[in-house]
Structure 1
Amino acid sequence: MSVRRYELTFPGSDGTGEDTVVLERTDAAGPGGHPVYADATGIVRAEISDRGEVRMLPSGGHQALSHPTSTRRLPDADG
């Protein structure tokens, strides 16, 4: 069964703390053939393998991509 949601944690934008974003599975596949997940805005996008390997994907030009410090599978919203 495929995972529908992930929570990614990044270093805080102010240099302290952490920023967390929830991504939901899209219908797209990434360059490695794994599902693409995106946040509600579509700005944060990542290809995530079935082993939890994350490849951040740009959603626009001049975007500075950072790698998450942690990745966590989330239970489905409906169950």
Structure 2
Amino acid sequence: MDRRLYLGLKVLADGSVRLGGSGTPTCYINFELETARRIRDDLDECIAALEAEERQKAIEATSPEGTETAPAADGEDPA
């Protein structure tokens, strides 16, 4: 009997998937616990980059000149 722990991730197909029937196709991806831990770090990095981009866009949208910049997610100067 396999006693390893797995993490299941439910994902919805993107627009490239052709729908043969009605509804939205749903897939599941299972990761061993160690693999899930490794990809968590990659996901955290991607999320931080997207959040920094959202903050930058919000600042530009509210800035009269659009010249202000948001600090980078990691604390470094974005310039």
Does TM, scored on the shorter chain, surpass 0.5?
no
TM-score (norm 1): 0.29
Q: Which has the higher contact order (CA 8 A, sep 6+)?
A: 1
| Structure showing the higher helix proportion among its residues | 2
| Structure showing the higher strand proportion among its residues | 1
